[in-house]
Structure 1
Amino acid sequence: MEIMGALQLHPPLPLFKHTTTKSYKLSSKLSMSRGFHKLNALETNSPSGITDLEEELPSIDFAFVSPKLLPDGSPDVHIRSAVGGQKLRDIMLDGNIDLYGPYDIPLSNCAGGGTCGTCMVEVVEGKELLSPRTDKEKEILKRKPKTWRLACQTVVGKPDSRGELIIQQLPEWKAHEWE
């Protein structure tokens, strides 16, 4: 299923460094096999289809999958982008993505120290963009699947990295199974 629309920027955002108004085509594709949305913004008058922003600022695209299903039975997915070289925990918190779920009350998590295990996520796709497991992760996740990581210990790429990641939030609470 593909949904098309137009996005007009008036006036141009300072990040784009344009002096004229640009028109962007917004494409949203739903992948039924994975149940996530992929969003692409393309400059409509660019022959290569690559915007000035993409050429200047490398970024990593994320699909954060909530453990709960929507009323229609499909996964609740939140799309975000971030520059690499940051911890996954910081990317999630900065993007208002639920990281701790029921453990998001004062003194119930270690605030990024890597000792409590409440920021566990499952990396569904894109594990090659992540740093190797730390010793703290190895200890806390020794009985968990290899795809599980601690968001507070996981660095995503480098500042010049590009790619895509699908992250399952709160994998112990998820309401669906990945193929």
Structure 2
Amino acid sequence: MVVLQFNSLGLLLLPQTTKKCHIRLSQNLKLREGRKSYAINIDSQTSSISETTATTTTPDADEGPPVIDFAFVNSRLLPDGSPDVQYRSACGGQKLRDIMLENHVELYGPYARPLLNCGGGGTCGTCIVEVVDGNELLSPKTPKEKEKLKKQPKKWRLACQTVVGKEDSRGELIIQQLPEWKAHEWE
């Protein structure tokens, strides 16, 4: 197995056994059409590095199974000051809590122990997330959500009460994890 270590500025370590490899770096936080991705080609025989830029487009409705793309933004920033983002995909018709837990995305933060949260009943309010983009894909707020979040910003939701789309839904969501602990503000 070959391990490449790199940062946002470039490649830090290249094993001698590597002849050619492709590395994809996501440049933008948005998942919308026009997202740039970079492919860096490294040829160890000629010691050359070439970079190509390609712009991706949103797939047509007829391509592949219906899927919803997620960008989960961590509440803490990376050491360079950029947001820590995890990209995931899931089918619609599921609760946001289940999607986050199945994909190993931090949901409860300091409330992760079983006795500190209600396990999806909507009574504790520890699974709060902020919907930065894609609110139209989410179900309307439940009475439990309205009660728990009545003094909070309107973009905040309880992940255990929020259903993401329907089984045939497509789209993108940007979700801020643990908004009460976040180190940055959205513009």
Which of the five TM-score ranges fits, normalised by the shorter chain? 0.7 to 0.9
Matched, 1:30 2:27: yes
Could you list the runs of 5+ residues in structure 2 that have no partner in the other structure? 1-7, 11-21, 38-56
Aligned-pair CA distance for 1:37: 6.2
Q: 1:95 is aligned with what amino acid? A: N
1:103 corresponding residue in structure 2? 111
Distance 1:147 1:62 in 2: 16
Aligned-pair CA distance for 1:30: 2.0
Q: CA RMSD in A?
A: 2.7
* Aligned residues of 1:59 and 1:162 also touching (Cα < 8 A): yes
Correspondent of 1:173 among 173, 176, 181: 181
Distance 2:104 2:92 in 1: 17
Distance 1:110 1:157 in 2: 24
Correspondent of 1:91 among 74, 77, 99: 99
Correspondent of 1:152 among 140, 160, 170: 160
Distance 2:36 2:108 in 1: 29
* Aligned residues of 2:92 and 2:166 also touching (Cα < 8 A): yes
Aligned-pair CA distance for 1:119: 0.1
Aligned-pair CA distance for 1:106: 2.1
* Aligned residues of 1:133 and 1:154 also touching (Cα < 8 A): yes
* Aligned residues of 1:101 and 1:170 also touching (Cα < 8 A): yes
Aligned-pair CA distance for 1:28: 4.5
Normalised to the residue count of structure 1, the TM-score between the two structures is 0.74
Correspondent of 1:73 among 43, 63, 81: 81
Could you list the runs of 5+ residues in structure 1 that have no partner in the other structure? 4-24, 42-47
Distance 2:91 2:25 in 1: 22
**Count of aligned positions:** 145
Normalised to the residue count of structure 2, the TM-score between the two structures is 0.71
SS at match of 1:55: coil
Aligned-pair CA distance for 1:29: 4.0
Aligned-pair CA distance for 1:50: 5.1
Residue identity over aligned pairs, in percent, reads: 67
